Amino acid sequence: MLNSILPIISISLNDDIINDIDKLQKNLGFTGRSEIVRAGLRNIIAEQKERDILQGKLAALLLIIHQERDDDQVTNMRHDFEEIVTTHIHSKIDQDRCVELFLLKGDAELIRNMTKKFQTNKKLEHVKLIAM
């Protein structure tokens, strides 16, 4: 295969993320940091595309993991979407972290907006939408 020259961009990452990347690289057998970053980005793009085609009324599960000290972030954001939240479970996972599960029913647009709001909040560690 011919070597293709890829544009180089610089990104800033904190130590925690760099450690996680290096661990993933080792465990999953990626050849370098760039490769793992590309794989992660491809996943986000695929997820986004999947989400963009959701339409009409649907049910979905939104999973969020965060530091316990950020509990109020989730609570505050939840209030903007009361009309689609049918069930909300909030539980401690360990010393510092909490998991929150939202069962959502309603307009795809609202579900998308809620997911976007959580996903762009930097304090939340993990946000995952499963549409049903």
- The contact set with Ni ion (CB under 5 A) reads 68, 71, 98
CB of 58 to Ni ion, least distance (A): 27
- Do 62 and 113 contact (CB within 8 A), yes or no? no
Beta-bridged to residue 18, according to DSSP, are: none
CB of 127 to Ni ion, least distance (A): 15
Q: Which of 20/68 has CB closer to Ni ion? A: 68
Q: Which of 51/90 has CB closer to Ni ion? A: 90
Please identify the residue of the shown chain whose CB is closest to the bound Ni ion: 98
